A = this chain, B = another copy of it.
Amino acid sequence: MDPRTGLPTVGMVGAGQLARMTHSAAIPLGLSLRVLAGSADDGAALVAADIEIGDHTSLDDLRRFAKGCDVVTWDHEHVPNAHVAALAAEGFDVQPGADALRFAQDKTLMRSRLTAMGVPCPQWADLDATEDRSAALASFGDRVGWPVVLKAARDGYDGKGVWVVDSVDDAAEVLGSDTPLLVEEKVVIAHELAAQVARTPSGALAAWPVVETVQCDGICVEVIAPAPDLAPATASAATDLASRIASELGVTGVLAVELFETTDGRVLVNELAMRPHNSGHWTIEGSRTSQFEQHLRAVLDWPLGSTEETAPVTVMVNVLAGDDDPARPALTDRMCSTLATFADAKVHLYGKGWRPGRKVGHVTVTGDDLDTVRGRARAAAQLLVDGDRSVATPNRGNE
């Protein structure tokens, strides 16, 4: 407990935008997030008072950090699972714990466990279960049909660690590496969905409505809440699935279950994330309780908040830094153009450098009509990236 406030101290390992937004949500609750940052320039380190600089792969650093915390949680999945277990063994309260977190850290473990639970997944095989990965891949591809999707079992994100291959030859380089691999059927996707729930150590659950996520080059670019044109029975089944996974795996905090809705009507689990997730950023404005507030309440074993929507439609569009372009107006000018044109858009910037392709922020618009809301959110995000060059290059003014 922090004697200054009479309230517990939550520590988050990792200082990216998730920790940054979690800190923002901590403030009204009377809390101040304690953050383990790799660098003083990390997004959360720029805004939170209680920052420890350290390495999330060092057990010593983790232990030193945890000593100031009533509960420790995670901004990402990259803390070695053995370290998470070690902290718990030493008496620290870590949420989610190692036994749950491993299913978000290792895709092979996740697929094994979900398959054993009878949860629908794409057909898959662990290439490292046999001596000959090439033969296993050939056998799998010939059985389910090429192309197939090769995945690194660990450390993939935003399309990294994923390879669509047409043949064993096509996979030669990856197969020759020492990366643990699994292979999955390449399903034909009608929509990508995400079902998000929060669960407390005591077992209380709260679910947000299922959303549609739109991906481009493996990166989430847009989230629509609730998922449009989703059959109520499908939505309900997806929510039940996420709740069941959270309970059976012992997840605490926020769980995001990424789902494929296939053209042949199946709903299959793609990935699990045990933390606030890009698919839940819409909840800051679109839900009574944001995923960041709910994650804090959940890991503290506090009562969960209402997940009622605040508007019929919410659309979140990621802001991906464009290519470097010396003619682009300065960020402040782009921000002002965006705010001036879209007075109803809520802009979120993460305090990160604008490296090409990097997620540097997002824009959320709420409203009644999907097309209007989506159009405004997209246009606002685009304007934030490009700026208004109408003054410098008048011919572009009417684009």
Contact = CB atoms under 8 A, between A and B. Distances in A.
A340 to B, nearest CB: 4
A45 B41 contact: no
A176 to B, nearest CB: 41
A41 B311 CA distance: 38
A306 B345 CA distance: 9
A347 to B, nearest CB: 7
A43 to B, nearest CB: 9
A48 B347 CA distance: 20
Q: Is the interface of A mostly helix, strand, loop or mixed?
A: loop
A28 B349 contact: yes
A32 B336 contact: no
A361 B30 CA distance: 9
A135 interface: no
Contacts of A49: 45-49, 51
A310 interface: yes
Interface stretch (A52-60, A102-110, A296-304): A296-304
Given A49-B48, A336-B302, A343-B303, A349 B5 contact: yes
A7 interface: yes
Number of chain copies forming the complex: 2
A6 interface: yes
A361 B6 CA distance: 14
A348 to B, nearest CB: 4
Given A47-B32, A305-B343, A339-B302, A332 B7 contact: yes
A133 interface: no
A335 B8 CA distance: 11
Nearest to A308: B344
A5 B297 contact: no
Contact of A24 (B27, B297, B311, B340): B27
Contact of A41 (B4, B346, B347): B4
Contact of A30 (B304, B344, B350): B350
A191 interface: no
A216 interface: no
A29 B24 CA distance: 11
Contacts of A311: 310
Interface in A34-68: 41, 45-49, 51
A20 interface: yes
Contacts of A51: 49
B28 A331 contact: no
A201 to B, nearest CB: 13
A339 B48 contact: no
A389 interface: no
A129 interface: no
Contact of A347 (B28, B346, B353): B28
Please provide the 6 A-B residue pairs with the shortest distance between their CB atoms, ordered closest to farther: A30-B349, A303-B340, A6-B331, A303-B339, A306-B343, A28-B348
